[in-house]
Amino acid sequence: MNKNHYAIIMAGGIGSRFWPISRSSHPKQFIDILGTGQTLIQNTYERFLKVCPKENIYVVTNESYTKLVKSQLPDMSDQQILTEPAMRNTAPCVAYGCFKIESLNPDAVIVVAPSDQQILDEDAFISAIERALQTAASHDCLITLGIKPSRPDTGYGYIQYTDHTINHDFHKVKTFTEKPTLEIAKTFIQSGDFLWNAGIFIWSAGAILKAFGQYLPEMHEIFADARPVYNTADERTHIHKAYQHCINISIDYGIMEKADNVYILPSDFGWSDLGTWASIYDLAEKDYVGNAVIPSEKVIMYDSSNCMVNVPGEKLVILQGMHDFIVVESNNTLLICPRDQEQNVKQVVADVKNKFGAKYI
């Protein structure tokens, strides 16, 4: 296994669209939300064990989730768990991880990925990552993986690519579009040169640090100044102070949409970003009338179809006359809403917080 290959797992989000199962104190990446016997972050970690040595895998997460990471990934050392004192989107997260790795190994080639994605074809995923790592090691480029779209989904970002390639299969990126309207998404699908943005990035340490210097110079300076303290006892204190000076910006907007050396690898490995209950419903096993029930031991349904049900395993639940609904119970909270209105869950969470405080959030 190549000692220059590294992985950064981003695990700092709160997953509010999966409320009430995903809470700010225990978000979705630490939950077995698919009923597989492993949490999402455990699945992600095990995938990357096939790509790089386990000591080369890092998790960046909110400070409050440190114990969760340690309990679910017990093989990780304290130096591999990078904690953020506040949410500042993905650019500071990526900068922290990549600067720290570069201080250990200037020849590092790094894959950065979210902790909460579903990958159905792991062999195809590993193959794509390894090809991208090899290309990033030999070219001055920033690589992202693009998923061949199966439908005009308005919940995903889209990336348009050109015919110009490196290593045959890596296409130069032309445009980024975030969550288009349905009509625009349909035109993207018809054009044939758009891919879903999977939010998985591959680059050499040198290429990404150079990009930070060019496109986010103030952030580059913040984490470059920390070089003397990386992998020392002073790292956490220094970084936590430095984070207060970081702007809130995504790596997509801060660098990927601006850089002129971005390439995309068209991929197909059964990907889902698990961003909504609809994505869980699509992946879950269903009965003959389209009901997906996790777990299903004590749920009885009469004259009900196409429902997404997730309730505590010990609770007896009877549903009658429910069609196309989401029914979720957790943490002394019950949510019932039409499946086509699940985009309102984030607003519901905000309303609950305003009315009852953080107790239920």
- Tell me the per-residue pLDDT of 265-304, one tens digit each, with 9 for 90 and over: 999 998 988 877 888 888 888 999 999 998 777 999 999 9
Beta-strand (E) ranges in 150-291? Answer: 158-166, 170-177, 194-204, 262-267, 271-272
Task: Say how far apart CA 168 and CA 266 lie, in whole Å.
Answer: 11
- Tell me the per-residue pLDDT of 167-189, one tens digit each, with 9 for 90 and over: 889 999 999 998 888 899 999 99
Mean pLDDT of 61-79: 96
Beta-strand (E) ranges in the chain? Answer: 5-10, 57-62, 81-84, 109-114, 118-119, 142-147, 158-166, 170-177, 194-204, 262-267, 271-272, 292-294, 299-302, 308-310, 317-320, 325-330, 333-338
Query: With contact defined as beta carbons under 8 Å apart, do 290 and 309 qualify?
Result: no
Residue 65 backbone phi and psi in degrees, to 5: -100, 10
Place of tokens 């050499």: 204
Mean pLDDT of 47-57: 97
- pTM exceeds 0.85, yes or no: yes
Mean pLDDT of 223-227: 96
At 33 the three-state DSSP class reads: coil
Decide: residue 292, CB within 10 A, 0-12 exposed, 13-18 middle, 19+ buried. buried
Query: What are the beta bridge partners of residue 197?
Result: 146
At 148 the three-state DSSP class reads: coil
